[in-house]
Every structure is written in structure tokens, then in C-alpha cells.
Structure 1
Amino acid sequence: MATTLLYNAEIANEGRRFRGYVLVDGQKIGRVGEGTADGAECMRLKQTADRAVDCGGRLLIPGVIDTHVHFRDPGLTEKGDMATESRAAVAGGVTSVVDMPNTKPATVTCAALGDKIRRAAEVSAANFGFFIGATNDNADELLKADYSRTAGIKLFLGSSTGNMLVDDNNTLEELFASAPALIAVHAEDEATIRAARERLLEECGGSIPVERHPDVRPREACVKATRKAIELARKTGARVHICHLSTAEELQLVSEAKAEGVKVTAETCPQYLLFDRNDFQRAGARIKCNPAIKEPSDRIALLRALQPGGCIDTIATDHAPHLPAQKEGDALTAASGMPMVQFSLRAMLELVASDPQLEGCGPERVVELMCHRPADLFGIKGRGYIREGYWADLVLVDPLGCRTAVSDSEVISRCGWTPLAGMTLPARIEMTMVNGTVVYEAGSDPQSGAAMALEFGTTGEKP
């Protein structure tokens, strides 16, 4: 098998940043070393490797693991599919993705799960895994799923595509008591949302402006559902992961539960760190998502919770593409969701470089939140770290390689737009490697063919 030496790199890994080199031996990492290009060991490896790449002091990190994407395949492929969205992922430095079950048909059976794995194996550019979705009546399917090939169970406490709203209290308690894997929760209370929608329809005369979306899906809905999920975890001992956390109150609930020993973790997304409700005036429905983007104070609280010791465990994107025409309309008719997977790493690197709430953080913290912790929490085997013997999922980044604003024209997702259009994200993804194969280089088209199905542990402990 061919060997590739990446040398003269600024490596960010396991809480450190150092000048060093990585030898890729076939599909895996053969050696990780510290030292300059003229060191004896690096010089020897340059002479023996089949290919040597001078990284020029640029940042080398593990491939990002995005554990929350909607790649729309099957049934919603006019918006995107496993092929198009995974290519967008690797162009953004995301080497592994975990896809959500609210497709058409919904991924709520083992047969549907198998169909998605086979489809991804044919076309995906990024390594892939999937959640199986919970419903009010599919307990048998959840129990017989193979959780070495399945990331966990996705639970919607708010409405979603397909019959996936679980609103029966007995079913919920049974699910939490018997769940054989982590439960990832979309935490919004449906009754609270319904009441808010009816009130605003009357107040606004039948059409609710898109900037009122945070009122249609109010913070109270998030707080109520998150509290319920935590209470069930406390009662049953289930492992619960709160997805796309968006409010300061939820941070407090999660922090208190962790202090009590409840098995709860939390994710947030770049959109809740970059935008607040004031941005609807500029961006309109481009930033409409569920849960809704909230107040400036929530954005600040979420940023602070990314600091070491904060209660946010992972950053994921909730990548959810829609065609531009589907994003037109008011707070009820414009589709909710946005494409984020191509720009999430660049956005997070910019935030740690420039936002005062993240002072003292750097690329090492981004790697912790987007690479290490997703691998740990989901028990993803052999990925998320630059370690000898691990799969060679690597990303080379030039921190100051891009000096122009993001534009819709560079979007690879089928939808063809991004909510980040007009923002300057200085970092540039120079190269993405999946399982030892270069699948993307800046200025070239992303390639498929190297991706693998992710393997998951059963405990969520460090692999």
C-alpha cells in the first residue's frame, strides 16, 4: 500500500498544537511525529515515502465528524442526496457524517436502515452512519437494530417529516427504559408550538412574518421538552443527547443534570453561534430553522458554553438543504432548515479567532468539539483523532487562505445557496483525506470512492 508523508504541519490534536508530521500508510495513520522538516526522522521518512507533502506550516487536524445531517436521501432528493451533500461535506473538511431518519420513507425500520447504508456505500464521499427513528409503535424495530452499525435512536418531541412525533407518555417512558443505545432528542414541545402558532395567526391576521419565527417556535417549547428528556433520563438511566440546543435556559438544565450524574450530553450548531433574531431582517428565511434562532443573549450564552468546562459537548450542523423556492414565504410557509456542512469548520475557526466570548480558545478547542468528542460520545471506532493505527481522515487548512466573502456560487450542495453568503471566513480547506485517499483539494471537484460505513461502540466511551 502507498505511503504519504504530510510534514511541516501545525498539528492540532488532543489539546495541543505542535509542528510535526503524519505518515499515512495505506488507509491508516502509520506514524505521528513532532519536529521540524529537517529533523532526522522526518528526513528519513521523506526519502522512503511514496509521496511527501510539504504542508507549509498550515493547520493539520483530524477529519470533522458531523453527527447531525439531513442528506435528504431517499425521497427528498430534489433538495440534495447522499452523493451531492457528502461531496459538500468533504469540501468543508467533514470526513464522517451521521444522517437523520426523517426521509421519505422514514428510517424507522431495520430494512430502511439497510437500504440507506447500501446507498451510501455506492455514492458517499464521506464516511457514513445513520440513526434509526423512534415512533409511537416501532419498539420492536428499535430493539433488533444492530447498534454496531447504527449511531443511535433519534427521537422527535416536536413535529417532523413523516410519522415520527412521539407524543405518547407511556411510549416515551418505555423507550427510555429499554433503549439499547444513545437517544438523540429533538427537544421542542409540540403543544407549546401549536398554541403559539394559533395565537400569532390571530395576532398577525393570518400571515406571520418570517422574523416572528422565534415566537412561533418559542423558547418555552425548547425548555419544556429538554426538561422532559432530562427527567426521563434521570428516572431510567438512559443516555440522552440533546440536539441543536438553542437557549440559555437549556444550558442551565443540562449543566445541573450533568452535576447530578444524569447521562446527558448536548450539541449546538454554528447557526446558533453566528446569528440571533435580529438577523432575520437581513437574511430572512435563509436562517429559518427548527429550533428557531433566538435572542442575542442566547447566542452569547451558547458561545460561553463552548469554553473548556462548559456544558456543550459537540458541534454539529443540522445540515438541511432546501431549494430557494422552498425558502420563500412567511414564518409558517417557508421551509425550515439550511445547508451548513460545507462551511461549518471554517465558521468555527473564525469564531474562536475573533469572538470575544471565545477568548483563549483556538483550533484545539474546535477539534475537541467537532472531532474528538463526537467520536467519544458515539463510540466511533478509529476516528476523530490523529493517532497511530487510526483511519487516515485528515484535513489540511490554511487559516488565512481565503480573503473573499462566501458566495452562493461556491456552494456544492444541490440547493445552491448558503446563509453565510457575504460573510468573510478567512480559513480555506486545502485538502481533505478520507481513509488515506485525497478526496478534495482546493479548486478541484470532490471525489467519492474512499468512504466507509462507520463502526459504533455500544457504550459511547472513548474508543
Structure 2
Amino acid sequence: MQNYVIRNIQVVNEGRISVNDVLIKHGRIEKIAGDISTDLLTTEINGEGKYLFPGVIDDQVHFREPGLTHKATIYTEAKAAVAGGVTSFMEMPNTIPNALTIELLEDKYRIASQTSLANYSFFMGTSNDNAAEVLKVNELKKDICGVKIFMGASTGNMLVDNYLTLDKVFRESEVLIATHCEDEKIIKANYQRLKNEKGELSPADHPLVRNEEGCFESSLVAIQFAKKYNSRLHILHISTEKELQLFTNLIPLKDKRITAEACVHHLTFSSDDYEQLGYKIKCNPAIKAPHNREAIWKALLDDRIDVIATDHAPHLLNEKEPPYEHAHAGLPLVQHPLQLMLHHHKQGRISLEKIAEKMSHAVADCFDIAERGYIREGYFADLAIVDMNQQMTISKENILYKCGWSPLEGMKLPGTITHTFVNGHLVYGQNGFDESNMGQRLKFNR
């Protein structure tokens, strides 16, 4: 394996930025210091003026394989991810077939081991009648990121609304439980009322169908279960101001049993953007009124919200067309989350150190990921080099998703990703991609 030394780079890590050399040897970070001596076989990379981030760990993606490979594959989306500095992902179970058994889950790991340029883990899916199978994950807790429960129906129709099933999983699961929280009865009632009033619904009606109350009531139920059994609960894609009262920043992340995730689209868009982008930004939970976005930002920065993710969920453009009922929910984002957060940094919203914390450090801590998420000696060399002096205009010509589009098209994003290392392998650089090494299965310290 090739060894590297990155010279004179600004290392963004653990709350500070320091100029150092970083030596990568045998896939790991060997040394972080000034003026490191190396042999002639070590490849030098000039990092002067650039920034080194820990590789982004995206804890929520939908890569659509198996069963929906006209939209995406693990190969195509992992390739897009590493081009954006995302070195590890955790993928959701609403593929076809749904990942509702250990055997089906392991099929996804097998595909990833052969095709994914990024490191990977896959959530076990929950249905109303597979609690016994879900709890087999307790025997595999060092090898599987967690259990996913859809408490509101979304793509894949994996709604779990049987309280006996929920009670059993929250009571007995020894791994993290990740939830999609929207109340199905509230959603259906809102939809029927608006349908009766308007006939045809528009994109701007989506946050009225999937409203604040639906999110809050469902999140409240999940938290009540978690508190009842001291379960490890992680609520995904917080989209409302009201939900934020359910989370705390009074204890450190390592001691939290209930954590929360914000997604880049809920930090970037608001309901004001439906007029221009329409169904391109239809997603579940919905992008809502601007005051929700501002509240999510505040909670992210004060640590009530713990991590940032993408909820990358690609569909073909013709699947995003009206009418409302036809337009699929979800948007592709995994190629640009780091650059999007750097855009917010340029606007004065967030520091570089906080970006590294919320996209890497905290994700590793939240899931107890082994030896990743930090730029530390001895850790796997999952790293992204960023040139903040360059910018990139998102266009169909540079989008790598199989679906071929992005809601960010036309945006000028700062901070070109010039190099991405996965397990010390330079998978993406100035010469494009090196696909000679696949990513690894994530391991967990549980």
C-alpha cells in the first residue's frame, strides 16, 4: 500500500486548527507533527493553504440497492460520496426487498464489499411483525450500525404502528434505534382536509400535509419509549422548531441516551424555495417554514442537535413530477454535504471546527464507531483535503449520481475537495478515482 505525507496543511480537528504534516502509513494515520521525515517511497502532497478534514461520516443515506437500481446503486452513490469527502455511510433498509432479516441485511454488506469505494454499514429494518428478527442484531452489535424504525410511512412503506412491536424493540434492543418520526394519522387527516379544500395539491402544500404537529407527536412517542426503557434512541432529520424542546445540551454527547440529527437540506432550504424548486425538494419530513430552519441552526450550534447528515434519497427526475401523489419524496445530496456546510461557513453560520465536529467526530461518538471520525495517530486515514480558494458550480456535467440531477444545480459552492483518502487509500484526487480498493465494513465499540 502506498504511503503519503501531507505537508503544511491546516488540520481541522477536535475544536482547533493547526498547521502540521500528516503521515499516512499502512492505511492509518502514523504521525501528526511539524516537518516529518520520510523515505523516498512516501508520496508527498503539498497541503499549503489547504485544510484537512476528517472524512465525513453520513449516518443516513438511501443507495437504493437492491431493487431500485434504476435510481442508484451502492457503487454509483458511494463514488459520488467520496468525491465530496464522505468516507463512510450508513444506509437505510427501505430497499426491495426491505432489509427485514439478517440474511437480507448481509446481502447488502456483500454488495458493498465488492462495489463501495467508501466504508459502509447498513441498518436493520423493522416491520410490525419482525421484532424477533430485529433483536438478533443484539448478537451483531459490533458489526451493525443500528435498527431503523419508520414511525411514519415514507418511501418503501415500512410503517411500524403496532405499539406492541415498538414496546418490544425499545425494551430489548441493545443497539442504537434510529427513527423516522411522523404521525401517520395526522398526515392522513391533513392530506384529506387539503384535498377536500383544494382538489389538487402543490409542492407548497407538502409541509401542510406533513406538518410540525405530526413530527412532534411522533418524536414524543419515540422519546417516551426510550425513557421508559433507557433505550439508545437517535431521531433522524429534525425538521421543526417544536421538536427541539425534546432534546438537551445539558449533558455531554457521550452520556446522552437520546440524540438528534439535522440534515443539510433542512439547514439550507425553507418553504420559500418550493416556488422555484417545486417537487425537487419534496422530502419526508417536509422542508418547512423559515422559522424552523433558524431554530434547527440554533439547536445545532448549541448541541441540542448532535450530528449533520444528508438523507441522500435519489429519484429520477420524471419520478419527481406532479401530481402531488406521484411526486416521490427525497433528494440526492451525498456528493456535496461538506461543500454545502462550507458555504454556510462562508456566510458566517458555522465554524470549520464545528463542521468537523458535527459531520465526523460526533457521528463517530454517537454510534461508537471504532477508530474513525477523528484525525488521530493510530486511526484509519479517512481524510478529505479542501481547497477553500477554489469554488465549484454544481451542474449536470459534474454530478455523479446515477439519477443525474441535484437540487443544488446552479449554486456556487466554496471549498473544492481535492483529495479523499479512505483507509489510507487515495480513492479520489487530481487524477480522478482509483477504484483498486474498496471501503471496509464499519466496526462499533459496543
TM-score (norm 2): 0.96
3-state secondary structure, aligned to 2:12: strand
Equivalent positions of 1:11-410 (< 5 A) are: 11-33=11-33, 35=34, 41-42=35-36, 44-45=37-38, 47-48=39-40, 50-145=42-137, 146-162=140-156, 164-205=158-199, 207-255=200-248, 263-307=257-301, 309-355=302-348, 358=349, 361-402=350-391, 404-410=392-398
3-state secondary structure, aligned to 2:114: helix
Distance 2:157 2:8 in 1: 52
What is the aligned-residue identity percentage? Answer: 43
Distance 2:128 2:251 in 1: 28
Letter of the 2:389 counterpart: L
Q: Tell me if the contact between 1:245 and 1:266 (Cα under 8 Å) persists in the aligned partners.
A: yes
Letter of the 2:192 counterpart: E
Q: Tell me if the contact between 1:92 and 1:342 (Cα under 8 Å) persists in the aligned partners.
A: yes
1:108-137 Cα deviation digits (max 9, x unpaired)? 100011100000000001000010011111
Task: Tell me the residue number matched to 1:423.
Answer: 411
3-state secondary structure, aligned to 1:290: coil
What are the ranges of 5 or more consecutive residues in structure 1 without an aligned counterpart?
A: 36-40, 459-463
Q: 1:258 to 1:291 in 2, by over 3 A?
A: farther
3-state secondary structure, aligned to 2:182: coil
1:299-321 Cα deviation digits (max 9, x unpaired)? 111111221x3311000100000
Q: CA deviation at 1:162?
A: 4.0
Quote the RMSD (CA, aligned, Å). Answer: 1.7
1:255-304 Cα deviation digits (max 9, x unpaired)? 38979x87210001110011100100011111110000011101111111
**How many residues of Structure 1 are paired with residues of Structure 2 in the alignment?**
442
Letter of the 2:6 counterpart: L
1:234-258 Cα deviation digits (max 9, x unpaired)? 1111010010000111111123897
Letter of the 1:58 counterpart: K
Letter of the 1:183 counterpart: I
3-state secondary structure, aligned to 2:428: strand
Q: Tell me if the contact between 1:126 and 1:448 (Cα under 8 Å) persists in the aligned partners.
A: no
Distance 1:219 1:347 in 2: 25
Q: CA deviation at 1:448?
A: 5.7
Q: Tell me if the contact between 2:114 and 2:438 (Cα under 8 Å) persists in the aligned partners.
A: no
Distance 1:450 1:362 in 2: 32
Q: CA deviation at 1:330?
A: 3.2
Q: CA deviation at 1:49?
A: 5.2
Q: CA deviation at 1:332?
A: 2.2
Letter of the 1:330 counterpart: P
Distance 2:51 2:81 in 1: 18
Q: CA deviation at 1:401?
A: 1.0
Distance 1:448 1:285 in 2: 38
Distance 1:448 1:219 in 2: 46
2:424 aligned residue (429, 433, 436): 436
Letter of the 1:345 counterpart: L
Q: Tell me if the contact between 1:211 and 1:331 (Cα under 8 Å) persists in the aligned partners.
A: no
Q: Tell me if the contact between 1:234 and 1:262 (Cα under 8 Å) persists in the aligned partners.
A: no
Task: Tell me the residue number matched to 1:461.
Answer: none
Q: CA deviation at 1:437?
A: 0.9
Distance 1:180 1:135 in 2: 18
> Structure 1 stretch 95-104 or stretch 420-429: which is displaced more?
420-429
Q: Tell me if the contact between 1:429 and 1:442 (Cα under 8 Å) persists in the aligned partners.
A: no
Task: Tell me the residue number matched to 1:38.
Answer: none
> Structure 1 stretch 119-128 or stretch 169-178: which is displaced more?
169-178
> Structure 1 stretch 440-449 or stretch 99-108: which is displaced more?
440-449
Q: Tell me if the contact between 1:87 and 1:448 (Cα under 8 Å) persists in the aligned partners.
A: no
Distance 1:133 1:422 in 2: 36
Distance 1:257 1:165 in 2: 33
Q: CA deviation at 1:210?
A: 1.4
Distance 1:80 1:417 in 2: 12
Distance 2:370 2:57 in 1: 12
Q: 1:258 to 1:187 in 2, by over 3 A?
A: farther
Distance 2:13 2:229 in 1: 35
Q: 1:175 to 1:16 in 2, by over 3 A?
A: same
Distance 1:248 1:275 in 2: 15
Q: Tell me if the contact between 1:435 and 1:451 (Cα under 8 Å) persists in the aligned partners.
A: yes
